Structure 1
Amino acid sequence: MKTQYPTATWTVRQLCKDDGRTPEGVCFNPQECTTAAGVPGTRYTLYRDGEVFGTACLTADEERKVGDPPPIRILVLKAFENLDWPASELEVQPPDGRTLVNLDTNFYTSNTEATSIPVSLVQARVVVTAEPIAYRWHFGDGSSTTTTSPGAPYPDLDVAHVYETTDKVLVSVDTQYGAASFTVNGGPPEEIPSTIWINGEDQDLEVVEALPQLVVR
């Protein structure tokens, strides 16, 4: 199921060399910069919900005219890694925070669906979507593994680990989001060539030894 989040409001302001502006707030001596492609541009400050988010160097074509906001794609690419992508909830079997030494402990998560986050970018309705594409499992004994599988409940053991000694450990699963895209005002999706890892919360797990019991028949 897709998860919805509160909408963030994005605004921009062109940076001036000495804050020289007209009474209308238009910058008449913008800060010059060079883009990563080596193209001359001018610099903007980006604001998210009124708080400074960062800056962007825009070409003359992107700028279009003094005072225009930067293209939405630039804002989306900068915003992608700062959106609230959900952490995966880790499931461990056996349950209840205890497992046995020298036997398979099963790990999985149900976080497999795409997540869509609506964002307001300079008076446009933007929806950013990404899905889990990899999982990094931390077993708490110094070992970890990365898979594309989210694991599965018993009897499947897609992601299993054998603890060799009794111990109290912290286990977790990190999630990599990718296969991302965004839409503007309900239009066709456009690819976002970015990925991001979201760390999962630690869970306590006690590894105990199975004690033999005498059964009287």
Structure 2
Amino acid sequence: MLALLLLAPGSSGADDGDDDEPVCYEVADLYSVKVVCDYSGDSLAEAQAAEPLADWQIYQLCKDGTSGQPEACANPRVCTIDGKTGTLYAVFRDGVRRGTACLTAGEAGALKPSIRSVVIATFQQLKWSPSDLTVQPPGGKTLVNLDTNFFTTNTDAKSIPVKLQGQSVVVTARPIAYRWNFGDDISITTTSPGSPYPDLDVAHTYEQTGEVAVSVDTQYGDASFTVNGGPPEPIPSTIWVAGASQDLEIVEALPQLVIR
């Protein structure tokens, strides 16, 4: 096979003498391109072992660019390093790119994202239920300059089963905060879901008549997950879920003459 060494601009064909720079070769039918590989399979495994609490991820590099996702691309870039032939990967630690690695299929399989990092990423994509909203007085109308009461019955923890990396995962979270949007440019956030009249735990007084759209957004947190029925593990993430809006008319109470 004919091998062509392509050097970066400004480089010479002579040995630069930089023995600390790990070099791999991207190979194809008619050429080999010198590439700086920050990691081999062994050195990346050592880096992960040195920082076991870090979130390490590898994304395969394609001939037309980075896939951007932790799955194999259809046209991976082949490379060799330390006498091993593999494919090129971008290496990320805690969401920051740390370099490039040349990994065999076995090495890449051993370094795939942990189930925990996949669950944490998936948590934000799950369909958490919006909260129902009850407004008192009922009927879509309330009185100006008097308390209007708001509450929701969405207080219980929710569990969502998903399949991740071929394993059965159950993600659980509960409402931990509520953002009440009163429609007059005023919103408040509480840990209370409110309560029915006459408690008035979450109440608002409108100072002008008119029509507004009210809603309640829900923050889910205190989350955890289980894998294949195992013990729960905590998830540090939270997520806000927007609630549907309701029309509310603020009216003025008019005196009426009543003949008895």
Offset of residue 152 of structure 1: 0.5
Unpaired runs of 5+ residues, structure 2, are: 1-57, 64-75, 79-84
Q: How many residue pairs end up in the alignment?
A: 184
Q: Secondary structure at the match of 1:105?
A: strand
CA distance in 1, matches of 2:232, 2:97: 27
User: Does the 8 A contact of 1:14 with 1:67 survive in 2?
Assistant: no
Say if 1:172 and 1:64 are closer, same or farther in 2 by CA, change over 3 A.
Answer: farther
Flag the structure with more relative contact order, 1 or 2, with Cα contacts below 8 A and sequence separation at least 6. 1
Offset of residue 146 of structure 1: 0.5
User: Does the 8 A contact of 1:130 with 1:179 survive in 2?
Assistant: yes
User: Does the 8 A contact of 2:172 with 2:225 survive in 1?
Assistant: yes
Q: Secondary structure at the match of 1:28?
A: strand
RMSD between superposed Cα atoms in Å: 2.7
Q: Does 1:34 align with 2:92?
A: yes
User: Does the 8 A contact of 2:153 with 2:193 survive in 1?
Assistant: yes
Offset of residue 70 of structure 1: 2.3
Offset of residue 17 of structure 1: 4.7
Query: For the pair shown, which has the larger CA radius of gyration, 1 or 2?
Result: 2
Q: Secondary structure at the match of 1:210?
A: coil
2:220 maps to what in 1?
177
Q: Does 1:84 align with 2:127?
A: yes
1:16 maps to what in 2?
61
Q: Does 1:66 align with 2:108?
A: yes
Could you list the structure 1 runs, at least 4 aligned residues long, displaced by more than 2 angstroms after superposition: 36-43, 63-70
User: Does the 8 A contact of 1:128 with 1:183 survive in 2?
Assistant: yes
Unpaired runs of 5+ residues, structure 1, are: 1-12, 22-26, 44-59
User: Does the 8 A contact of 1:16 with 1:28 survive in 2?
Assistant: no
Identity of aligned residues (%): 59
CA distance in 2, matches of 1:139, 1:156: 18
Say if 1:42 and 1:123 are closer, same or farther in 2 by CA, change over 3 A.
Answer: farther
State how 1:39-54 maps to structure 2 within 5 Å: none
Offset of residue 65 of structure 1: 3.0
State how 1:13-162 maps to structure 2 within 5 Å: 15-18=60-63, 19-20=76-77, 28-36=86-94, 65-68=107-110, 69-162=112-205
Length-normalised TM-score, structure 2 = 0.65
CA distance in 1, matches of 2:88, 2:97: 16
Q: Secondary structure at the match of 2:230?
A: coil
Say if 1:163 and 1:124 are closer, same or farther in 2 by CA, change over 3 A.
Answer: same
User: Does the 8 A contact of 1:33 with 1:41 survive in 2?
Assistant: yes
